[in-house]
Copies of this chain bind each other. A is one copy, B any other.
Amino acid sequence: MLTVAIAGLGTVGAGVVRLLHQNADLIAARAGMPIALRAVSAKDKKKKRDCDLFDVAWVDDPIALAQSGADVVVELIGGADGVARSVAESALKSGKHFVTANKALIAAHGAELAKLAERNKVQLAFEAAVAAGIPVIKALREGLAANKISTVYGILNGTSNYILTRMREGALSFAAALQEAQAHGFAETDPSADIDGYDSANKLAILAALAFGVEPNLAAVQIDGISGITPVDLLFAEELECRIKLLGVARMSEAGLEQHVGPVLVPASSTLSQVDHVLNAVLLRGDFSGGVMLEGQGAGAHPTASAVVADLIDIARGHRTPAFGVAASHLKKAVAAKSAHKTHYYMRVQVMDKPGVVADISAILRDEAISIESLLQRGKSATESVPVVITTHAAEPSAMRRAVEKIAKLPTVVEKPCLMQIED
């Protein structure tokens, strides 16, 4: 018998409780023993929840769950610090296994918690922290463990993917697509973590840690969001036979480990471009395995519960795996590498339609040794701004960013240019 205590009974917490009940026999057969919920802790004891808590102890202070007698503490509260972090530390220090769906916690304190787990000879597990129902942590940490990984990338945020999909399908504005996502419960009232790329960045930092043997480091991830994308960009992407996807990309090169979250133009013919709506997908490239893609539900109570209980089954089976694939003391520091990876770029500049604008922009690009592949200026207006869209040949990321900053300062340019990589 493996006994479990859960901190946090929101939609995911209730989902885990339902799953433990609903598939109890099957879980016991696969785990080799029953997995039983013993104690829970949540803010509001009286709140009606869609799960059965009969015979489960209620503990007011989640930090006290470590002393509840359960073998495993599951944290489903969220947040990089505060209560979640205290629950993790108290559990591990008390010699309890610790399972979490909390990407912010792991991205911020994963290395430190992994060391704590190793010192106390217990398991730290977080399959649910990245891409929920897709067992991608396990794929990286175990399934592809024999491989030197060169890149990990993918669509790591369902909310943004839904918004970008609906903008394209329905020719919607960003605001309208966001509103639709909120109406469907795919986006929160404050959507910034999703649309500004921070949620993806947390997940990418965790995947990069597993792939490259480094401590997760959010500060080393360059983060661009999707709120600056307009229907005009979708139309131009279509013309370039591409789709716009918010990607997290981690890549090991001679310059070091590059980590970047941002909107990217991917070829419409690629499998990744077909991953629409709230689906997530992760691509891993190993030196022996070749490319492997995993696709599925990246969020939601049930897919997340599936991952949490998979971790519990691993623990019941007696599996002990270093949290990030190698001993925590062996993890290297992930520093923000200067990107050396040359790519093609898409840049949309909103300009007042005056003579010389294109000449000014072209001169800045020339000075940064960036070569223009195509330039399109559509529409004419004496009073409103018009878009100039430029695609470049493969260019240095740092040069491109410098050029964008200079272009943004031109008097005829009315807003910060929209810059996206174009994937080959």
Contact = CB atoms under 8 A, between A and B. Distances in A.
Contacts of A142: 135, 138, 142, 310, 313-314
Interface in A274-302: 274-275, 286-297, 300, 302
A327 B287 contact: no
A178 interface: no
A310 B146 contact: yes
Contacts of A138: 135, 138-139, 142-143
A29 interface: yes
A319 B322 contact: no
A69 interface: no
B320 A320 contact: no
Contacts of A383: none
A145 B313 contact: yes
Interface residues of A, number: 60
A74 to B, nearest CB: 13
A50 to B, nearest CB: 14
Interface stretch (A19-27, A214-222, A346-354): A19-27
A305 B146 contact: yes
A318 interface: yes
Nearest to A131: B292
Contacts of A303: 288-290
A328 B350 CA distance: 66
Contact of A288 (B275, B289, B305): B305
B139 A135 contact: yes
A81 to B, nearest CB: 29
Interface in A25-50: 26-27, 29-32
A147 interface: yes
Interface of A: 15, 19, 22-23, 26-27, 29-32, 127, 133-135, 138-139, 142-148, 213, 271, 274-275, 286-297, 300, 302-303, 305-307, 309-310, 312-314, 317-322, 325-327, 330
21 contacts: A22-B287, A23-B146, A30-B326, A135-B144, A142-B310, A142-B313, A144-B306, A146-B305, A147-B306, A287-B302, A288-B303, A288-B305, A289-B302, A290-B297, A290-B303, A292-B294, A292-B295, A292-B296, A293-B296, A317-B320, A317-B321
